[in-house]
Structure 1
Amino acid sequence: MRICRLQTPHTEAAFEVMPCDPDELYVNDFDIFWDRAFMPQPDAIFGLDLPFLGGEPQPAPQAATKVTSFSQFSSSLPSLDLVEEVGDAHQRDRSEDTGNQCQTSQDNEHTDSAPWSISSATFEKLCEEIRGYASVLPSECQIPTNNDLSRGLETYLKCTQKYIPFIHVATFLAEERDAELSLVMAALGLLYRFEHKRAYKLYFMARAIWTEKARRAHLQMASDVVCDRDHMTQSKPVKLRKIQTLILLVIFASWGNKRVRPDALSMAGELASK
């Protein structure tokens, strides 16, 4: 133990000091951990909205929305109001489409615009034209039924037309076409359906009618030349239909039985002269 004296201007006092270790001095000295930079300033303390005793509690301030760089790349889900509006719009469009389809179906019922459909009047007219060439038709070939003819035309326009695009489907009407063209189209359609017997009957009927028309046209041309009359030229639509008929006859003969393939060669020569 050592005695330390403290001298003041008026008195002199002595007190005992406990023995101390120099290394322990730095541990017990708390000032070395004190940093004035972390010391709160008075204005920061008094600027806080702290409740005072006896006063009314102040509402807690709302937390500010923290904006980060991630929010620039994130997308929020659509609001429920927007989803409901879009759903209502789709429902209205679907209702309008359904109404339009129903109206179109009703219109089609009243005006049957299917190109392969043959009305009773059109079928009777077609039968009359075929009967006009009864003398040149094969005896085994009878006039087809409306069902067979319509079924063959439908198959041709829906399926065979993709491989033989020589008929304009949008403007095709059986009542405005020659009998031989409708017959050969139906023959190709039935051949596509593997109804070979019916297909060959329609083919030979179309071939006979086309040959007879060509023979009559040749006789008329010979008469006009001998009598020195002006030969009546065919219009472009009529000539086009004859070429279409001849092309389809050549195709059927090429696809059919080998015994009818010579017909394809002979008709191909006639086609080249058109």
Structure 2
Amino acid sequence: MVFGRKNKKVVPFRTSGELDAMAAAGAVVGRALVAVRAAAKPGVSTLELDEVAEQVIRDAGAVPSFKGYHGFPGSICSSVNDRVVHGIPVADEVLAEGDLVSIDCGAILEGWHGDSAWTFGVGEIIEADRLLSDATRLSMDAGIAAMVPGNRLTDISHAIELGTRAAEQEHGRSYGIVDGYGGHAIGREMHMDPFLANEGAPGRGPRLVVGSVLAIEPMLTLGTTQTKVLGDDWTVVTTDGTRAAHWEHTVAVTEDGPRILTPRPE
């Protein structure tokens, strides 16, 4: 039995054994992401990247979380350049030198979900794109650091926002925090309540307790905070055409500090 799922006063939490099971699923995701990045070279299609991820996931005895989810056709979301999230991998989208690629991946192992994303460049990328990805990672790291017992949900949101503002100060430019998208609780379902915004005032929402798990996933742009969904009813793009980045880890609260459940092999 998993306790806390129906208690809206706390973020859903898991036992230590269940966290280990989630970490096993998350490790599969991490390996898939590393394999995808290694394969992401000029001339390679996003559909080929999808095939790489699915092979890694299935070879581990797991199942892709995304494939068939509300009709989504891929095992990964491949979002290139101005695509923020939920890009569909296809054969005629071929990577080129300088592309900025965000890959979101999920896997189910023994009923438990792992969910993670990262952004990287294809070959050499311009400095602005590199800094955008770094800023998004720093924002995620700030959110992860706030995953401690006693904090409230929006303490994580506020930490992510402060991480973005700190990156802006460090980089000497502004970033758009994508409006309307964010993280979520996760366990035996991929998307669970509560929703985790990537900005906002602290001190609100359910409390974090030992074993609480959230997928933390900031999305930043080089310009707008606004997006639109393309005609495929999935792909989310920036309204001004500026590039976007997306980083995500599934993270648990423990007595010894935040535990990343989606580790990536070196």
TM-score bracket relative to the smaller structure: under 0.3
* Bigger proportion of residues as helix: 1
Select the structure that is richer in strand: 2
Instruction: Provide TM-score, normalisation by structure 1.
Output: 0.22
Structure possessing the higher relative contact order (Cα contacts under 8 Å, 6 or more residues apart): 2
